[in-house]
Amino acid sequence: MSSVLSPSMTSWLFSAIKIELELENHQPSGQHGCVPQPNCAPKDSVTHSPFLFFILLIAAFLGGVSNALAGGGTFITFPALLLAGVAPVQANATASLVLLPGSVASAWVYRDTVRATNRRFLVLMSLASLIGSVIGSVLLLSTSNATFSALVPWLLFVAAFVFTIAPWIRRFAVKHHGAESLGALLIGQTIISIYGGYFGAGMGVLMIALYLVASSLDIHSASGLRMVCSCVINILAVILFAWRGALVYSSGLPMLVASILGGYIGAVAVKRMNADHARTAILVYAWALTAWFFFRTFVR
């Protein structure tokens, strides 16, 4: 298996969800296909057909594998929830819950590196992450489903673009690796964390670039700091989403288990697989997904 997401697999996954959703859209108005509705009532439980529930589990599993190999798990879990009929804001919040264990596990892997980081610096960056995450999460929860639904194609475009140019961003950051500017780091971290609390796909790339350009951290230390800050952003966002009733537990908790399994298998497979192949497959999927959402929102 040369890639975690072959084109045929991703095509089948999307086609299956689309067909099932079209069937469910024949339900009377007011049932669970409420994506376009601006005032869709929050629900912590959404009933899916067995087939759609299976698709969501597969998406969560692949999201966990993807994050373990090359990142980009949000590209799989969030659209799957959205296409399954979960309201846009809830789909985004629930996707954060689904991928949270992977974020915590990644931070744990870098625990020795983190211990070597200056304690005061680590606390300040974590506080910037916390503040940004609160702002981003509150902004998301204050956004209507109709507005967020219209923003989804653009958010996916930004995330896909950042994911695409990630190697060039990293090379630029390494080339311009310079003296530390704490002010630039804290401001940049807060801005990135606002995006992380609101949507978050691709924020890891932006954080690595920030740390390499505005600090004296090497790539390994920068990766460890990124994992800690991502963990702070995601944990706080999920807590706020849970407090405000924005999580769909009937979908999110089973998907969380599937994501953990996928993350474990991905961590084992990363030693045998070519990460570049996995990244290419995710990019093809991400751009196809973005194009489909633009068509769905503005053309169809």
Residue 2 domain flag: no
148 pLDDT above the threshold of 90? yes
Nearest to 66 by CA among 109, 10, 4: 4
Answer whether 245's CB lies under 8 Å from 87's CB. no
Residue written as tokens 């673009």?
Answer: 161
Query: Does the pLDDT at position 159 exceed 90?
Result: no
Domain assignment present for residue 135? The answer is yes
Evaluate whether residue 260 is within a structural domain.
yes
- C-alpha 227/C-alpha 225 separation (Å) is 5
Q: Which pLDDT does position 29 carry in this prediction? A: 37
Predicted local distance difference test score (pLDDT) of residue 232: 93
What is the reported pLDDT for 273?
A: 62
Tens-digit pLDDT profile for residues 82-123: 888 889 999 999 999 998 888 787 778 778 888 888 889 999
Picking from 240, 245, 164, 255, the residue whose alpha carbon sits closest to that of residue 196 is: 240
Which pLDDT does position 33 carry in this prediction? Answer: 36
Find out whether 82 and 91 touch, Cβ atoms under 8 Å.
Answer: yes
Residues in the chain: 300
Query: What average pLDDT is seen over the chain?
Result: 79
Residue-number span of the structural domain to which 158 is assigned: 7-24+44-299
What's residue 286's pLDDT?
84
Q: What is the tally of structural domains in the chain?
A: 1
Instruction: Please choose, from the candidates 191, 180, 195, 209, the residue with its C-alpha nearest in 3D space to the C-alpha of residue 117.
Output: 180
**For position 70, what pLDDT does the model report?**
63
Q: What residue type is assigned to position 159 of the chain?
A: A
Three-class secondary structure of residue 184 per DSSP: helix
User: Which of the two residues, 27 and 271, has the higher pLDDT score?
Assistant: 271
Look up residue 68 and give its two tokens: 């373990």
Residue 32 resides in a domain = no
Residue that wins the pLDDT comparison between 40 and 272: 272
With respect to residue 116, please indicate whether it lies within any of the assigned structural domains.
yes
**pTM tops 0.85, yes or no:** no
Q: Is residue 200 part of a domain?
A: yes
CB 67 within 8 A of CB 73: yes
pLDDT digits (tens, 9 = 90+) for 52-67: 888 899 999 888 887 7
Q: Give a yes or no: residue 62 inside a domain.
A: yes
Does residue 134 lie in a domain region? yes
